[in-house]
Structure 1
C-alpha cells in the first residue's frame, strides 16, 4: 500500500506543470508579489521571507487542471548583539536596544553582549491552482513556519498564510490570512535580518477580504476589510484581537497602486476602531464602558529599478500602530486612582508616529550589496492621560521612546538555491522620561549593533 502511494505521488509530481521564472500578469498584482528586484535571481513569489525573497510562481491553471507546488526554505541565523534588546522569539527579531538599568554601583545591567543561533525562521508552504470558478482563475496558498505563536512556544508550528484568490480579467477577489495591505509585497525592505525592517516598516498578516480593481493596465485600486489574529493591538489585557472584535467594525483599507515594468508607486489609507474595555470600575463603581479609540494611517511608497541598482522608499504617518509591530498605542483619559478607589477610564486617544525608510540594492545575480536606513519618531497626543497602552510609550517614569534610527549595510552571495547573507545593523533609540501626553523628554541615545550571518536553502 505504501509503495503504491509513493509511486502515485511520484508520478503525479512529474506531471505537475511548474511555471517558468517569470513576472506575474497584471491580474494578480495586488496579492501575488512580483520577484524582488533587489537581485536578478528567481525568487519565491508565494512565500515572502524576511530576506526579501519569494517562492517560484505557479502557472495559472488551465480550465479543469490542478497544480500543486511545495515552496519554502531552510534558514539558519547566527547573530551577535552588543547589548540586550527588546525582541521577539529569543531575539530572532530585534526591535530596539533595551534602556539602561543601573545596579548599585552604577553599572548598566543591559550592557551585556548576546550570541544566538536559530533555525526557527525556516518555512514550508503549498501553492496551488485549480479549476475555474465563477468564470475566474483560482489559486491559493497554505504556509506554515516554526517561529511559534508566542515567545513561550518558540519552535512551534504556526499558520502563516491561508489565502485563496479568484482572478477575472479586470478584478481580483481574495479571502483568508495574508499580508496586511500596509505591507506592500512589491516594496518592502530586503534586509538579511528576519525583522524585515520593523519597527520602521508596517509588518502584519491578518484574516481579510480583499478586492482589487484593475482600473487600467498599470493602475490598481485595492479595498480590504481586515480582522486581527497573528498580530494584534496592545491594550488593557496585553496583546489581543478582542479590542477590534468588540468594536464590531473591521479594519478598513484603501490603496491606489501604479505598477510599471521598472516603477511601483502607491498611496494608502487605513482605519481601525478598538473598544479597549467592556466595563470600568469595580463593585459599586462598576459601569459599562462603550468608549472606543479610532486611528488612521497614511502611507506612500515608491520603487524604481535602474540598470545597476534598485531604490525603494516608504513613509508612514499613523497612530496606534502596535498591531504592525511599530511604536505607539493609545492613551486613556478620565479619573485617576485615589487610595482604594480604582481609576475610571472614560475616553481614549491614539498616539502618533511618523516613520520613513529607504533602501538601495544592487541588481547583481550572484553578489548583492545593499544598505537600509530607517527613522521613526513618537508624536504622542493630548496631555493629562491617566494610562498608556502600547509599545515604547508611557505617561510617567523612565522607558518611553522619543525616536528610533537604524542603518544596516549588507552583502548577499547567491549560488543556485543557496544564499549566504551578512549584515551589520546599528539601531539607536532615544529613551527617556514619558510625559502625560505620551511624548518623551530627557532622552538618552542607547545603541545596539547586531552582526548577523545567515544561510538559506530555498526549494
Structure 2
C-alpha cells in the first residue's frame, strides 16, 4: 500500500510538469502540508484516532463509580497532507470544455492510517449553454457549496453533512439561478444497517451492500440563487436501500425444540431529507448557515437511522420507518491576516412517526447535541497558523416507543486544536 501511495504521489508530480508534452492540456499541481495537534477532555465518538471528532461518549461507570469514558486524550498527526492536480483539456465538439481533478491525502481508511486515500477524482464537461456534467467522486450535494470555515477536520459534522461520494451531477445555470440534479452512490462514507440477518438484530455495521442491494442510488435535487456576495438555496435528498436480502429466523417445533430457517426477503427503507443553506461573503466578512431535516443520513457522518415497525412471523421479513433528526449550524468569520470566528451547532433527535420495536443506526441514544467553537488564526501567503477551542455537550437517555430519547443526562467535552498549514 505504501508503494501505491508513493506511485500516486509521483504520478501527481509528473502531471504537474507534463503540460509541455500534452498539446492543448493545462495542468495545475497543488498541495498542502498540514499538522494537527489536539486535546480532548474525555473519550469521544470519533474516527481517524480522534482527528475527525464528532461528540462526547456517554458515561460508563465501573463498579467504583468511575467513568470509563472520562479519560482525556491528545495526539499529533500529519495525515491530512494533500496532493492534487487540476487538468483542463482541449475543447470537444460544439464548444464543450472538459476538465478533471484528482486529489489524495494520507488519511487511509478505517483504522489504517498513513496510507493514500482518494478525496476527489472526477471529470467535468462544461457546455456552452450554461450547463455542466460532473462524473466521479467529489463532495456529496448535501455538503455542497456551503460549509463552515473552521479548523476542525470534521467541517461541522454531525451538524453539517460530510461525505465525498461517487456521483453523476448535472447543473444548469440561468442568470442568477442554478439547478443541481445528482445520482449518488457510496464508497468511503457508508450507510449503517444490521450487522447480520437474524430477526430483530439491532447491532450495526457500515456497508455498501445496503444501497447496492436496493439497486437505486441516492438522488438529490437543489436550487440556488447566486450573486457575487450571496448564495442561498434549498435541496431535497432521497435514499432507498435494502437492509437485508435474507432472514434467519428461529422457530420451535411441537416437541419444544428450536431450529433455524433462512428465508429470502424483500425489504426496503426509503427516506427523504431536506436542507436549506445561505452564505454571505464580502471582503473580510463571512456569514454562513445550514439547516437539515434528515432521515437516515448515516452515510453523511451524522446520527440517525431507522426503526423496525413490523415482522412477518413466518419469514421474519421486517418493515421499517426512518428516524428524523434536525441539525443546524451557523458560522461567522472576520479578518484576513489575523482572522477570527465563531461556530455554533445544534442537533435534535425527533424520532419516528410510528411505534418501533427495534432501532438501527448511529447515535440513537442521543437526544440533542450543542457545540460552540471559537478560533483565531494568523495568515500569510501560503501559510496558516491557528488555534480553535470547542465546547460540546450531549444529552443521553433511553428510547421511547417512537425512538425519541427520554430521561436524559448531559456529558461535556472540551477540545483544543492547533493547526499549522503550508499550501503550495
Aligned to 2:143: 183
Cα distance in 2 between the residues matched to 1:235 and 1:260: 41
Aligned to 1:303: 279
Cα distance in 2 between the residues matched to 1:10 and 1:226: 31
Contact 1:332-1:345 within 8 A present in 2 as well: no
Indicate which of 381, 406, 409 corresponds to 2:374. Answer: 409
Q: 1:14 to 1:231 in 2, by over 3 A?
A: closer
Cα distance in 2 between the residues matched to 1:173 and 1:307: 31
Q: 1:227 to 1:111 in 2, by over 3 A?
A: same
Q: 1:290 to 1:158 in 2, by over 3 A?
A: same
Contact 1:269-1:297 within 8 A present in 2 as well: yes
SS in 1 for 2:210: helix
Contact 2:15-2:85 within 8 A present in 1 as well: no
Aligned to 1:158: 117
Indicate which of 216, 234, 243 corresponds to 1:276. Answer: 243
Cα distance in 2 between the residues matched to 1:12 and 1:434: 54
Aligned to 1:172: 132
Cα distance in 1 between the residues matched to 2:161 and 2:271: 15
State yes or no: 1:420 paired with 2:397.
Answer: no
Contact 1:97-1:429 within 8 A present in 2 as well: yes
Cα distance in 2 between the residues matched to 1:286 and 1:10: 54
Cα distance in 2 between the residues matched to 1:73 and 1:270: 33
Question: Deviations 1:340-376 (Å, cap 9, x if unpaired)?
Answer: x9993520111100111001110x2211100000001
SS in 2 for 1:131: coil
Which is strand-richer, 1 or 2?
A: 2
Aligned to 1:322: 298
Contact 1:335-1:386 within 8 A present in 2 as well: no
Where do 5+ consecutive residues of structure 1 fail to align?
Answer: 1-5, 17-60, 394-399
Indicate which of 177, 183, 188 corresponds to 1:225. Answer: 183
Contact 1:412-1:419 within 8 A present in 2 as well: yes
Aligned to 1:91: 50
Report the RMSD for the aligned CA atoms in angstroms: 2.2
Contact 2:30-2:84 within 8 A present in 1 as well: yes
Indicate which of 323, 340, 350 corresponds to 2:322. Answer: 350
SS in 1 for 2:62: coil
Aligned to 2:359: 388
State yes or no: 1:236 paired with 2:194.
Answer: yes
Cα distance in 2 between the residues matched to 1:107 and 1:345: 42
Cα distance in 2 between the residues matched to 1:70 and 1:147: 20
State yes or no: 1:250 paired with 2:217.
Answer: yes
Contact 2:388-2:417 within 8 A present in 1 as well: yes
Q: Count residues in correspondence.
A: 392
CA apart distance, 1:390: 1.1
Cα distance in 1 between the residues matched to 2:189 and 2:127: 31
Cα distance in 1 between the residues matched to 2:207 and 2:303: 17
Cα distance in 1 between the residues matched to 2:274 and 2:354: 24
Aligned to 1:69: 28
Aligned to 1:201: 160
CA apart distance, 1:309: 1.9
Cα distance in 2 between the residues matched to 1:328 and 1:178: 23
CA apart distance, 1:154: 1.5
Q: Which moved more, 1:369-378 or 1:66-75?
A: 66-75
Where do 5+ consecutive residues of structure 2 fail to align?
Answer: 1-9, 196-204, 250-258
Question: Deviations 1:357-404 (Å, cap 9, x if unpaired)?
Answer: 001110x221110000000101111454332221111xxxxxx00011
Cα distance in 1 between the residues matched to 2:168 and 2:320: 28
Indicate which of 82, 96, 101 corresponds to 1:141. Answer: 101
Contact 2:16-2:85 within 8 A present in 1 as well: no
Q: 1:116 to 1:165 in 2, by over 3 A?
A: same
TM-score with structure 1 setting the length: 0.81
